[in-house]
Amino acid sequence: MGRTPWSAADAHVGLLESCSVAEERVQGDPRGPGGPPHWSLPLAIIALASLTACRQDMHDQPRYKPLAASDFFADHRSARPAVEGTVARGHLRIDEARFTGKISGEDIDQFPIPIDRDGIERGRTRFNIYCTPCHGRLGDGNGMVVLRGYRQAASYYSDKLMKAPVGHFFDVITNGFGAMPSYASRIVPDDRWRITAYIRALQFSESAKITDVPADQRQTLPVEPPPSGIAPSAAAPAQQGNR
């Protein structure tokens, strides 16, 4: 973008120039070519004043008020519908696996996003916020709401869910399942994968052996063995906190 053709500075310089021309003419032949010298200054002022008439103010340009009728378009709508296929910024979802948990209708069994320790930690916080009221912190299906009479939530340690592909968990969070509502409006897709990763960690911890723990970290484990099975009464060891 160049500078505007007429700035205040230009006008000022122009005015000064015409003034000095006028001055020269006064000193030279007063009836020199170009007409009487005393016209130059008023002319410059008139020219300057006429410049303001060329302005197009933004608040004054042609526009429609929101949702006003229009004679220009055949359907008389001034608010134009989005062109077919328009995608709002940040809403492009062409990665089927990542946003549906499926490929050609089949649940996937590989995480479509990288999962690292931070991701699992994030999954844990989301799980504790959204899932524990019904599924409990241990994922055994005995959350507080269930203890107060809500329909029994699923235990993640059933044979079926131990073997279920990760895409199934994503699908259940996204679309709900039986009495369980959908969490799609509250949990963004990538967090659904992180929650699923945390559920996998919970499931793994259920059948983990001491040899799965790196040798140098075995000492830091609690002395008491974890409860076998996940009976609700037995499942309140100090390290789990309240469910």
Q: Distances from the Cα of 170 to the Cαs of 134, 190, 197, 206, in angstroms?
A: 17, 10, 10, 21
Count, residues near ligand HEC per rule CB under 6 A: 20
| One of 22, 108, 115, 134 touching ligand HEC (CB under 6 A) | 134
Ordered alpha helix ranges (H), 136-210: 144-147, 159-163, 166-175, 189-207
Nearer residue to ligand HEC within complex by CB, 39 or 204: 204
Span from 37-45, 59-67, 178-186, 208-216 in contact with ligand HEC (CB under 6 A): 178-186
Span from 45-53, 101-109, 153-161, 213-221 in contact with ligand HEC (CB under 6 A): 153-161
- State yes or no: residue 144 binds ligand HEC (CB under 6 A): no
- State yes or no: residue 197 binds ligand HEC (CB under 6 A): no
Token digits for 61? 């340009």
Distance separating alpha carbons of residues 39 and 22, to the nearest angstrom: 8
- State yes or no: residue 153 binds ligand HEC (CB under 6 A): yes
Binding mask 86-125 for ligand HEC (x = CB under 6 A): ----------------------------------------
| One of 11, 77, 133, 232 touching ligand HEC (CB under 6 A) | 133
Residues forming a β-bridge with 77: 69
- State yes or no: residue 172 binds ligand HEC (CB under 6 A): yes
Closest CA to 99 of 112, 84, 118, 81: 112
What are the contacts of 10-18 at 24+ separation with CB within 8 A?
A: 11/48, 11/51, 14/44, 14/47, 14/48, 15/44, 15/45, 15/48, 18/43, 18/44
DSSP-assigned letter for residue 225: P
Measured CA angle at 203 (ends 193, 167), to 5 deg: 35
| One of 76, 93, 151, 218 touching ligand HEC (CB under 6 A) | 151
| One of 22, 44, 115, 173 touching ligand HEC (CB under 6 A) | 173
Token digits for 108? 């996937």
User: Which one-letter amino acid corresponds to residue 50?
Assistant: S
- State yes or no: residue 169 binds ligand HEC (CB under 6 A): yes
- State yes or no: residue 231 binds ligand HEC (CB under 6 A): no
| One of 15, 47, 180, 235 touching ligand HEC (CB under 6 A) | 180
- State yes or no: residue 178 binds ligand HEC (CB under 6 A): yes
Residues that bind ligand HEC (CB under 6 A): 130-131, 133-135, 145, 151, 153-154, 161, 169, 172-173, 177-180, 183, 187, 195
